[in-house]
Amino acid sequence: MTTTENDINAADVPAPENRPRGVVARLPRYTAGKPPVVIEGLQSYKLSSNENPYPPLPAVLEAISGRQDINRYPDPLSTALRMELASFLGIPADDVVTGGGSLGVLNQLLATFAGRDESGIPDEVIYPWRSFEAYPISVGLSGAESVQVPLLEDGTHDLDAMAAAVTDRTRVILLCTPNNPTGPALTAAQVEDFLGRVPADVIVVIDEAYEDFVRDPEAVNGIDMYRRYPNVVVLRTFSKGAGLAGLRVGYSVSHPPITAHLRVAAVPFAVSQLAETAAVASLQHHGELVERIQGLVKERSRVVDGLKDLGWRIPQAQGNFVWLALGDDTPEFAALAEQQALAVRAFGNEGVRVTIGEEEANTRFLALCATYTKGPRVS
């Protein structure tokens, strides 16, 4: 196609009537993790998006290369995956709803349960802050209002304040365990106590994107909570532990009175047959995945111990990342990392989140920290 001077360029035509909803202008922008800069003679590493550094399992690659039917729409109910999850988790397949990543599932959930009431008054969705940066965007787009409850000093949820923030407009509460970006996991006892204090008509979402990396024996298991509390919705994903971030597949687990409504709001065909096949193969080869995940957990311990040896204070790290509460030094540290060809994730003047990556990447990160005199010290 050629462009001539006479063509009308739609971008130049004022169209004041095409305004987005007011909320769109007020929403924060989702910032994807930066790619690493290229530095001569230095292998670059991306430690900014909590991705799994390993390539897919050979069995997963083999399974998806066998799927030739992509001229067809996928099964909208992801039946094969839901059946596989049912036996993997020991739950009814009917309690599983799949989506385009757990973020897609979260959007389905918010579209279903939060927004505005018949007279236009916004519902409230409570979540900890700082937490996953997609939460304010998803809540804002649903039409509901965000109620952000600041984390405690140690990077954990302030569950007392979150329970106290419940009003008769609260529809949904998001718990993020382990919390992205700070790292601590909630314990089973904490979550049970919290669920006991929250009205049963409020949905409590337990976002377990990093569940595969949790090694704290006290940590909550969302599926246990779902078994005992009808208002719990568990969110899980194949993006992190299973290393399928690029294929977009996640799921929720909840009881039929909630699940039935979620299916109504589900984006049709959000999970492609490639994504579904890869997820099924990952579950069928779970043992191999666990070995890889264990390698990352060992690397996490090495990084955490290395930072502690430097006298740095970091929150409990139960995901595939560590949090450095660097405050005003955040941009400076991120720039120094960039000079080492390490892309890390800086959050304003709060801190830096660094993903556990390849061994060499982690070693280079620790070496950088050893030269940095303004780390978050134990006081």
Ligand X SMILES: *Cc1c(COP(=O)(O)O)cnc(C)c1O
Of residues 300 and 364, the one with the C-beta less far from ligand X: 300
Of residues 282 and 340, the one with the C-beta less far from ligand X: 282
Query: Can you list the alpha helix ranges (DSSP code H) found in 221-327?
Result: 222-228, 256-265, 273-284, 286-309
Tokens read off for 323: 């949090």
Residues 163-178 as b/e (b if ≥16 CB within 10 A, e otherwise) read bebbeeebbbbbbbbb
What is the DSSP-derived secondary structure letter of residue 252? Answer: E
Show contacts with ligand X in window 83-102 (CB under 6 A).
Answer: 101-102
Number of residues that bind ligand X (CB under 6 A): 14
Tokens read off for 269: 């065909």
Q: Measured from the CB of residue 245, what is the shortest distance to ligand X in angstroms?
A: 5
Q: Measured from the CB of residue 13, what is the shortest distance to ligand X in angstroms?
A: 36
Of residues 50 and 340, the one with the C-beta less far from ligand X: 50
Of the listed pieces 144-152, 235-243, 252-260, 272-280, which binds ligand X according to CB under 6 A?
A: 235-243
Tokens read off for 58: 């050979």
Of residues 197 and 215, the one with the C-beta less far from ligand X: 215
Of the listed pieces 77-85, 138-146, 152-160, 239-247, which binds ligand X according to CB under 6 A?
A: 239-247
Residue in the structure block whose two tokens are 């066998």? 66
Closest CB to ligand X belongs to which residue?
101
- Helix pair 286-309, 359-371: axis angle to 10 deg: 10
Q: Build a one-symbol-per-residue string for 268-287: x at contacts with ligand X by CB under 6 A, - elsewhere.
A: --------------------
181: nearest Cα among 315, 311, 340, 45: 315
In DSSP notation, 300-334 reads HHHHHHHHHHTTB------SSEEEE--GGGHHHHH
Among 176, 191, 352, 361, binds ligand X (CB under 6 A): 176
Of residues 74 and 128, the one with the C-beta less far from ligand X: 128
Q: Measured from the CB of residue 137, what is the shortest distance to ligand X in angstroms?
A: 12
Among 89, 96, 103, 205, binds ligand X (CB under 6 A): 103
Give φ, ψ of 16 to 5 degrees: -60, -20
Of residues 74 and 101, the one with the C-beta less far from ligand X: 101
Tokens read off for 238: 């194949």
Residue 237 near ligand X by CB under 6 A: yes
Of the listed pieces 9-17, 26-34, 236-244, 277-285, which binds ligand X according to CB under 6 A?
A: 236-244
Of the listed pieces 165-173, 183-191, 238-246, 306-314, which binds ligand X according to CB under 6 A?
A: 238-246
Q: Build a one-symbol-per-residue string for 199-218: x at contacts with ligand X by CB under 6 A, - elsewhere.
A: --------x-x---------
Show contacts with ligand X in window 116-175 (CB under 6 A).
Answer: 132
Give φ, ψ of 233 to 5 degrees: -125, 125
Before 36, cis peptide (omega within 30)? no
Of residues 127 and 333, the one with the C-beta less far from ligand X: 127
42 CB burial (10 A radius; 0-12, 13-18, 19+): middle
- The identity of residue 371, as a single letter, is T
107: nearest Cα among 236, 239, 266: 266
Residue 250 near ligand X by CB under 6 A: yes
- Helix pair 134-142, 101-113: axis angle to 10 deg: 30
Q: Measured from the CB of residue 178, what is the shortest distance to ligand X in angstroms?
A: 8
Residue 108 near ligand X by CB under 6 A: no
Query: Which residues sit at the interface with ligand X, rule CB under 6 A?
Result: 50, 101-103, 132, 176, 180, 207, 209, 237, 239-240, 245, 250
